[in-house]
Structure 1
Amino acid sequence: MTIPLTRSALAASGVATDPAPERIVHLGLGAFHRAHQASYTDAVDVERAWGIAAFTGRSAGAAAPLAAQDGLYSLVVRGAGGDSVSVMRSIVRAVDGSTPDQVLSAIAAPATAIVTLTVTEAGYRFGGDGTIELADPVIASDLVLARRVAGGARPAGSVPVSALGRILVGLELRRRAGGPGLAIVPCDNMPSNGELVRQALLDMADAVSDDLTRYVTDVVSFVSTSVDRITPATRDADIATVAELSGWDDRAPVVTEPFSDWVLSGGFPSGRPAWEQAGARIVDDIRPFERRKLWLLNGAHSLLAYAGPARGHETVHEAIADAACRASVERFWDEAEAHLPADLDVPAYRAALLERFENPRIEHRLAQIGRDGSMKLRVRAVPVLRAELAAGRSGEGAASAIAAWMDAAALDTLPPDPAEEEVAAAAAARDSSRALLGFLDPELADDSAALAVVEASRRAAVSG
């Protein structure tokens, strides 16, 4: 017999369940946030002082089962030898992010000290150059609402569509109320993500009012992060596993691997949980950690996401067991390692990655990883190719990841991508390699050496 997971039921089992006060607002409620930032907060918030109000982004469906469980959920840590299950209590409110006013009032609330985000790279609506496009229809619409609010109107009945639009209007409401400083902490796989978000919000604020620009400049802190924990999509079988191991009828469990890493750089003007007590690292220079993670973990994931399905594989575990795929990953890692500091102990990190990829009980599907590839490759493979070419080497390892993406585009087998129409048009061009490479990086498309190594990789894949 299983018991529905609620705070009253958990309290009856002898666990303290009084919800912590809301001090953190999270945008992008999904499995990764619950396996990572919410898990870190649960681990260190012994005094129950840092509750999270979590709002969905593109998919509203994640909020309903969590809300029915008072924000509680089971975290299944899936190691090669078995599973462990624990109940996370850090989320105290789970809400559809499009609900009028709620997300805005949460950001504006004086008690809110931190806003975290996991909205994926596409969710920021940056252009190809990594900056916000104010003419983007969604951003332009959000700015209209922001200007109305800055003019004194109440945002009743409407909410910005984009994550940055929601933050901007929330900050305007906070400014008008004289709210204290807060930290904005993006936790998505973009280099210098705190700086990117800072500049984007400043560009948007400049289009609204000088007062808002000054508030963002003077009162708001932006924290750059590197986040790492493989978290596959939850499946129906995972619900049964939780029931069997814990006795809880949990409609919103999360499955993740034992490994977890979080590196942060930046200030928190209104305080933060002591995340370092759960293993997080606070550093002055985050760039080496970002590059190690983006190039080695995420870069290999992208390579496998496009090369693996072409060889009949559906998961990371299957693909890394393929000798050809594994050789491609190792070659790519050799190139990336040449451009990382020695004190990061890259050989040990690589060995740990192989062990993580080989975990047969983590079903990390390549179709999930391959989404939004045109944006991801720009920061996962392109920098390594550029660095190798600048060093006078071929860059064939990085080129193989780009070539695999090109081949999938040519076959029209790519997972969803926000730029899928532009990618399809480039794939249909007479010189498709040049057109697709130009879409990722216009300078590389004009580099004969870059184009030659990518085309050679495409030919090698066909002959192999």
Structure 2
Amino acid sequence: MAERIVAHLGLGAFHRAHQAWYTQHAADAGGWSLVGFTGRSPEQARILARRRGAYTLLVRGPEVDAIEQITAIQRAHDGADRAAWEGALADAAVTVLTLTITEAGYRLDPRAPGGDAGRLDLADPAVRQDLRAPGTHGAVTAPVRIALGLDARRRAGAGPLEVISCDNLVGNGRLAGAVVLDAARAWEEADPAAAGLTSWIEENVRFRSSMVDRITPRTVPDDLATAERLSGVRDEAVVVCEPFSEWLLEPGAVPAPDWASAGARIVNDLVPYEERKLRLLNGAHSLLAHHGLLHGLTDVAEAFADPRLRDLVEEYWETAAASCRLPDAELAAAIAATRTRFANPRIRHRLAQIAEGARHKLPQRILPVLRSAIAAGHATDATASVVAAWILGEERAGRGVDPDVLRTGDAALDERVRTLVDRALRRLDASVVV
């Protein structure tokens, strides 16, 4: 049987600790390979090319390290290499495109209610630049880049494709499809040669959602030295991760690796699991990051060991769990597992890394919990304090905060959210002294 290929956009550490790991461990791994494209900087592609796509995965447990050589990625390219990108998506052997482009990479219109209605921000300068003449150059933004690749597939007659989003957004597949279709429509309006692209995508491309989880801190020089000591190989592409990993996907309809044989789960209704992960894990991460940075702390384990922040996380978890739809026992088990993961002192997950991109993250992680608590009459202080800590941190750094982050489209609810956040902000500003 001819080899099948998964294409991937966003060739960062998380993809290499997660989807590439699942592909290598699939029962049918011998029949599949990965071709990866960087999202922004070409550097990772250059580093991977030195070892023909192979890299070292350093799995850092609470007491010992384990290493594994991952060889699933056969080719790595600069995402700006338009010929390679369009050539990959025009290849009929490619049946799946996976994405780790970060929440910001979807270029969602912040003026839409809640910032998550799935409209491409056509006012974004980079999107506008990409759409001026996308048929004559490459694209910087992911939605336009994907539309370019899909047009190449259409012209090649390469057949159906599934796009699987692996970013921390509820309904990430729906959002990916929405912004790509918006990009395709805008391109059609600007360039007659693209006529028919939108309808072709609607008929031939399926956008699947998935929920992903594996803590993957940034690699530091000490990690490279540890991996070299354990493996005997000097590798600049080392990825560090925790032992825990989870991947839930909607059912698919095209050939794809047997990820379920490697531990992934196929579920018909993904939303309750997305909510559980975003609110319990990622929400608590944001709490620790924004509060911890105000207290001069540096990583998750250090922040979680601080009694003040630990108590605040526990209070937040009680509110967040009440906003989720899964059975209580399953939520309790998830919280217990997260306590263990946060306490791992050998995973140096830096708070500054988690705090990046808060204006895109908090509307997905924190605000749904706050709105649910308001509606149910539950405690709101710990949840509102996450947004307040972010605002205070930005103010102390001399940066402004986009007020659209707190908008929902419901004026009464917006006012209640602002009131709670303002109250939490006054308390923090008076009490936090670094």
State yes or no: 1:441 paired with 2:407. yes
Query: 2:278 corresponds to which residue?
Result: 294
The secondary structure found in structure 2 opposite 1:222 is strand
Query: 1:172 corresponds to which residue?
Result: 151
Query: 1:339 corresponds to which residue?
Result: 323
Read off the aligned partner of 1:132 and give its amino acid letter: L
Read off the aligned partner of 1:282 and give its amino acid letter: I
Query: 1:151 corresponds to which residue?
Result: none
Contact 2:174/2:209 (CA < 8 Å) preserved in 1?
yes
Q: CA deviation at 1:60?
A: 1.6
State yes or no: 1:353 paired with 2:338. yes
Q: CA deviation at 1:341?
A: 2.6
Query: Which residue, out of 72, 80, 92, partners 1:110?
Result: 92
Query: Which residue, out of 376, 379, 383, partners 2:361?
Result: 376
Q: TM-score, normalised by structure 1?
A: 0.86
Q: Distance in 1 between matches of 2:410 and 2:197?
A: 39
- The CA RMSD measured in Å over matched residues stands at 1.9
Contact 2:251/2:268 (CA < 8 Å) preserved in 1?
yes
* Matches for 1:65-84 after TM superposition, within 5 Å: 65-84=47-66
Q: Distance in 1 between matches of 2:340 and 2:259?
A: 26
Q: Distance in 1 between matches of 2:124 and 2:177?
A: 18
Read off the aligned partner of 1:162 and give its amino acid letter: T
Read off the aligned partner of 2:177 and give its amino acid letter: R
Q: Distance in 1 between matches of 2:384 and 2:319?
A: 11
Structure 2: segments with no counterpart, 5+ residues: 189-193
Read off the aligned partner of 2:176 and give its amino acid letter: V
Q: Distance in 2 between matches of 1:161 and 1:438?
A: 24
Q: CA deviation at 1:188?
A: 0.7
Structure 1: segments with no counterpart, 5+ residues: 1-19, 149-154, 414-423, 427-435
Contact 1:394/1:453 (CA < 8 Å) preserved in 2?
no
Query: 1:406 corresponds to which residue?
Result: 391
Contact 2:319/2:378 (CA < 8 Å) preserved in 1?
no
Contact 1:104/1:159 (CA < 8 Å) preserved in 2?
no
Contact 2:4/2:95 (CA < 8 Å) preserved in 1?
no
State yes or no: 1:184 paired with 2:163. yes
Query: 1:272 corresponds to which residue?
Result: 256
Change (3 A) 1:445 1:398: farther
* Matches for 1:190-339 after TM superposition, within 5 Å: 190-207=169-186, 208=188, 209-269=194-254, 271-339=255-323
**Greater relative contact order (Cα < 8 A, sep 6+):** 2
Change (3 A) 1:115 1:145: farther
State yes or no: 1:134 paired with 2:122. yes
The secondary structure found in structure 2 opposite 1:360 is coil
Aligned residues: 416
Contact 1:22/1:92 (CA < 8 Å) preserved in 2?
no
Read off the aligned partner of 1:163 and give its amino acid letter: A
Change (3 A) 1:41 1:386: same
Read off the aligned partner of 1:314 and give its amino acid letter: T
Change (3 A) 1:138 1:74: same
Contact 1:139/1:165 (CA < 8 Å) preserved in 2?
yes
The secondary structure found in structure 2 opposite 1:183 is strand
Q: CA deviation at 1:439?
A: 3.6
Query: 1:463 corresponds to which residue?
Result: 431
